[in-house]
Amino acid sequence: ISASAPQKAPWPKWAVIAGIAAFLVTLLIGGLLIINSQPSSVDKSQSYYLRLSNLKTLATNQQKYLRNPTTRNRNSTLTLLLTAADSKASELFASQSIEVRPEKIAKTKVKAVEDAYIAKLTSEIDDYRLNATLDQAYPREMAYQLNLLLNQLSTLKKISKSNALNQYADATIKDLQPIIKTLEES
């Protein structure tokens, strides 16, 4: 009864090394998948620029359908602000060698996502117009879209190390905040 249990044979050295190597390879592959699945700063810049450009076009196109003079005036101001932001963004991204011209990024995932987004938004705005509620719904919708745009810009600012981008972001946010507030009050 006092006999001790037989000792287990130790793991072979090669098995321990192979187990550790397999674990490290799995960890490395998992890390690479996580890193590659997140959009790059270039993708985020392109997405922001396309959204800005699309909202500018949408605001310009809707001007002729707005009937309320106050809404028309606010939309004119919005169009001017978006045009200025678009021009500055185009120059900024060109100086950073980030391609934002639609014809150059026509076949990217970012372009496809933004095209689908603006098509849906345009359809919603057209529904408002056809239901004779454009003057009431448009300001709220544009205020919401501008808030989303500023969130994109804030994200870009957080991940950027560029002083020029940070200055652009600060100026654009400062310019668009008052019109967003005005649109929300409509």
Task: Taking the CA atoms of 146, 152, 153 and 155 in sequence, report the sign of the dihedral they define.
Answer: positive
Q: Quote the CA–CA distance of 138 and 63 in Å, as a whole number.
A: 11
Tell me the pLDDT of the chain (186 aa) as tens digits.
566 666 777 777 887 888 888 888 888 887 776 665 555 678 888 889 999 999 999 999 999 999 999 999 999 999 999 999 999 999 998 888 877 776 777 777 888 898 899 999 999 999 999 999 999 999 999 999 999 999 999 999 998 888 999 999 999 999 999 999 999 987
Cα 150–115–62 angle (5° rounding)? Answer: 70
Residue 165's CB: how many other CB atoms inside 10 A? 22
For the entire predicted model, the pTM comes to 0.76
**Domains in the chain: ranges and CATH:** 40-185 (1.20.1260)
